[in-house]
Amino acid sequence: MHHANELTDEECGHLARILLASRRVTLRHHFFNWVHGPVQSLIPHEILLCGVADESGYLLHERFTACRYFKDDHYHRVIHPGDGLINQLAQEWHSASEPRLIAALHDEAGGWNARLTDLELKNVAFHGMGWINGQIKGYASFSRVRAPFDGRLALYIDILLPPLLAILARVLANEARMHNHSKRPTGLITAREVEVLTWVRDGKTNDEIAAILGLSMLTVKNHLRHAMKKLVVRTRGQAVAKAIALGFLRAQGVRVDAQ
């Protein structure tokens, strides 16, 4: 029987292969292949949500998923800065400072089962990384994990989180550098489109944005569609990320404590 905090020779082999393969990861599709390739040997999963904080402490979220059931709508609900799942998990992690494992089978008083089923996640293995000021520096949240939710899974996540976040930061830095070197999109996005994207960045739905700006839902959708077309992206999240990378938008969300 191996000790809870020791790895077997086989596990060491998997870990070595994961870390060696990570050295070649510089672009987003490399990261996807790494997560859905070598990393699967220790943490078999279908959905990875992860994020790193920018200099202002605003979490930049990313998703790497091979699950066709997990749609944009689920993703935006999960990362919502107010009542989103990630925000709740981050708070729970903050108080315990250890991986938060929620298997689908155990439905505690919190009603997790229904919520995870509704979001097409099935289960969650979440871990965060703190920074010197006590704030969360980054996180990784694995879902549809096909492994026992036990001390081994917690150990794997604890070991892999720092390199995973460092590699993600490298990929995002490379993307930002490449965007800065490439010229801005030909059709400049308008001030109104930037305004709409600002509220998208802060987790607002189209309905909420329409109410805030005093526009019709259709007008908000049109502004978003035009912005996405000019930025040459497919999703709201990509539009926000690219607008930030190109300097149209600041990577800073509304603070929860702002009254």
User: Same domain, yes or no, for 173 and 228?
Assistant: no
% of the chain at pLDDT higher than 70: 89
CATH of the domain at 168: 3.30.450.80
**Structure confidence by residue, pLDDT tens digits, 236-256:** 888 888 888 777 887 654 433
Please indicate, yes or no, whether residues 44 and 72 belong to a single structural domain of this protein: yes
Q: Within this chain, do residues 233 and 173 fall inside the same structural domain, yes or no?
A: no
The total domain count for the chain is 2
Domain end residue (candidates: 137, 156, 179): 179
Residue 109: pLDDT above 50? no
Judgement on whether residues 157 and 109 belong to the same structural domain of the protein:
yes
Q: Is residue 54 located within the same domain as residue 156?
A: yes
HEC sequence for 85-133: HHHHHHHHHHHHCCCEEECCCCCCCCCHHHHHHHCCCCCEEEEEEECCC
H or E segment and range at residue 223: helix 217-231
Lowest mean pLDDT among 16-25, 65-74, 115-124, 182-191: 182-191
If asked whether residues 196 and 175 sit together in one domain, one would say: no
Q: Is 18 a domain residue?
A: yes
Host domain of residue 97: 9-179
Structure confidence by residue, pLDDT tens digits, 138-190: 999 999 999 999 999 999 999 999 999 999 999 988 887 876 665 555 457 88
